[in-house]
Structure 1
Amino acid sequence: MTNKIDLAGRHAVVTGGAQGIGRAIVARFLESGAAVAIWDRDLALAQQAAAELKGRGRVVAVAVDVTDYGTVERARDATLADFQRIDILVNNAGISGPNTKTWEYPLDAWRSVLSINLDGPFHCCRAVAPAMIAQNYGRIVNIASIAGKEGNPNAPAYSASKAGLIALTKSLGKELAGYDISVNCLTPAAARTAIFDQMTQEHIDFMLSKIPRNRFVTVEEIAALAAFCASADCSFTTGAVFDISGGRATY
């Protein structure tokens, strides 16, 4: 039995919501009473997720490439036309990139990781923030990573992108502090999702070795924390970093 977080009447956007952490967040939001738009570049997978979750609440699938600001604007407009408002934005879409030394890291891979993991959340925040300002309410939750605080070896682009997302959270949180809009980020340890398919076993073992709880975080645990940050109860804290690292981060 999960604790109850009230999101009734709220309308949420979750990027990369078709699978993994994003899908768990969508499910938790629906169970909490929110309507959810899954923004994902894999429309077929998003539609499948929406069909499987529709029994829990109102959920729609929208095709979005977060690296392309024009498609983000169109997705925002379509979502606003459908929902009338966007109360919650979760920037979850991301990739890990290859596990390679910095001096050997492929240039195109660096650009791809930064484009999705950092440009993507910037695009979504830029597009959605004005609507939240106009309604004087909003909750933005950015899914960063413990790698953004500590820097994982052999993951320079991923670490740098998540560090940038943490800084974006702090900057935007200050900018929106005069409204009832909070901007916070989560820094989870690794969760066993499809993103592991992009990593070497050596890197996976390294990440596990750093977690005192000696296990990976579950997507449901991340979704529970995201639900609190997306709720009206999260009314004072902004620009904050919520660790969910199993004891890895003690600072």
Structure 2
Amino acid sequence: MSRFAGKVAIVTGASRGIGFAIAERLVGEGARVCITARRPEPLQEAADRFGGPERAIAVPGKAHDPEHQAEAVARTLDAFGRIDVLVNNTGTNPVYGPLLDLELEAARKIFEVNVLAALGWVQHVHKAWFAGHGGAVVNVASVAGLRPATGIGMYGASKAALIHLTQQLAVELAPAVRVNAVAPAVVKTRFATALYEGREAEVAAAYPLKRLGVPGDVAGAVAYLASDEAAWVTGQTIVVDGGMTCTGGV
């Protein structure tokens, strides 16, 4: 397929896991990409796997750092001349347990990375390109943002905020810019290891499709929302969860 031929995307948190799979899918369908993540070495390795500087550039930095955001946008425009898609994939969840035991500084960090960073990226890309040319934003949320989840309450609250932010931006940036989200359940990545390690079969048994997600499952949904096939879709959150939320669980 070549749905993204001639188009350019920025994908945050793309050195591994879901972000890597999203960038890989977009490149495979013709896009050129700027990928970001904190650690330079694995990020550059990912860019090299995508075809090197003619297809992918790597801009390391902290996703919530405004200077990093500005640099990545500027380097993308310098390298590729346009930005058609922004995928806010970066997320963090450094704590596990009840909210009453949560250090408020950790809560601030979660919201800074999971919510405010996404808004910052949209602001930078919109000012630099989308305002005059249009585009598509896809935010990676979570089913934990749709209903309570044991042990990851603040992460879920941040993803609920991200889902609402998606809807608000969809209204404010229409008609030129579409803004949507995906909400995965447990996907087999290093980030989610604590949720299934040593008990994958038990966790998967709660899903109607009887398996956990893999990064490619999410990448397919993101590619659809970013593509012209979703030209009349905005402000929506596609749940990618193997049917788990149908059973009432998270």
Give the alignment partner of residue 132 of structure 1, picking from 130, 133, 143.
130
RMSD value over aligned CA atoms?
Answer: 2.2
2:111 maps to what in 1?
A: 114
Give the alignment partner of residue 29 of structure 1, picking from 14, 26, 45.
26
- For residue 89 of structure 1, give the secondary structure of its aligned residue in structure 2: strand
* Compared CA separation, residues 209 and 127, structure 1 to 2 (3 A): farther
1:52 aligns with 2:49: yes
Distance between the aligned counterparts of 1:105 and 1:138, measured in 2?
A: 38
User: Is the Cα–Cα contact under 8 Å of residues 30 and 56 in structure 1 kept in the other structure?
Assistant: no
* Residue 108 of structure 1: how far off its partner (Å): 2.7
Distance between the aligned counterparts of 2:140 and 2:53, measured in 1?
A: 23
* Compared CA separation, residues 80 and 100, structure 1 to 2 (3 A): same
1:66 maps to what in 2?
A: 63
* Compared CA separation, residues 172 and 111, structure 1 to 2 (3 A): same
* Residue 188 of structure 1: how far off its partner (Å): 0.9
* Residue 204 of structure 1: how far off its partner (Å): 7.3
User: Is the Cα–Cα contact under 8 Å of residues 66 and 120 in structure 2 kept in the other structure?
Assistant: yes
Distance between the aligned counterparts of 1:231 and 1:169, measured in 2?
A: 17
The alignment's TM-score, normalised by the length of structure 2, stands at 0.91
* Compared CA separation, residues 173 and 210, structure 1 to 2 (3 A): farther
2:242 maps to what in 1?
A: 246
- Farther-moved stretch of structure 1 (184-193 vs 92-101): 92-101
User: Is the Cα–Cα contact under 8 Å of residues 47 and 53 in structure 2 kept in the other structure?
Assistant: no
- Farther-moved stretch of structure 1 (82-91 vs 107-116): 107-116
* Residue 36 of structure 1: how far off its partner (Å): 0.6
- Farther-moved stretch of structure 1 (81-90 vs 206-215): 206-215
1:95 aligns with 2:112: no
* Residue 194 of structure 1: how far off its partner (Å): 0.9
The alignment's TM-score, normalised by the length of structure 1, stands at 0.90
Give the alignment partner of residue 153 of structure 1, picking from 135, 150, 154.
150
* Compared CA separation, residues 57 and 194, structure 1 to 2 (3 A): farther
Report sequence identity in percent.
31
2:83 maps to what in 1?
A: 86
Give the aligned residue type for 2:216.
Answer: E
Distance between the aligned counterparts of 2:157 and 2:202, measured in 1?
A: 18
* Compared CA separation, residues 56 and 244, structure 1 to 2 (3 A): farther
2:183 maps to what in 1?
A: 187
User: Is the Cα–Cα contact under 8 Å of residues 34 and 57 in structure 1 kept in the other structure?
Assistant: no
Question: Unmatched 5+ residue regions in structure 1?
Answer: none
- Structure 1 ranges of 4+ moved more than 3 A: 197-210
Query: Could you report, residue by residue, the CA deviation over 1:184-224 in whole angstroms, capped at 9, with x for unpaired residues?
Result: 00011110101024558599788645422221111111111
User: Is the Cα–Cα contact under 8 Å of residues 91 and 113 in structure 2 kept in the other structure?
Assistant: yes
Distance between the aligned counterparts of 1:113 and 1:210, measured in 2?
A: 27
2:12 maps to what in 1?
A: 15
User: Is the Cα–Cα contact under 8 Å of residues 27 and 56 in structure 1 kept in the other structure?
Assistant: no
- For residue 183 of structure 1, give the secondary structure of its aligned residue in structure 2: strand
Query: Could you report, residue by residue, the CA deviation over 1:204-248 in whole angstroms, capped at 9, with x for unpaired residues?
Result: 788645422221111111111111111112111100011111112
- For residue 96 of structure 2, give the secondary structure of its aligned residue in structure 1: coil
Give the aligned residue type for 1:29.
Answer: L
* Compared CA separation, residues 133 and 207, structure 1 to 2 (3 A): farther
1:230 aligns with 2:226: yes
5 Å matches for 1:199-218?
199=195, 208=204, 210-218=206-214
1:141 aligns with 2:135: no
Distance between the aligned counterparts of 2:202 and 2:107, measured in 1?
A: 21
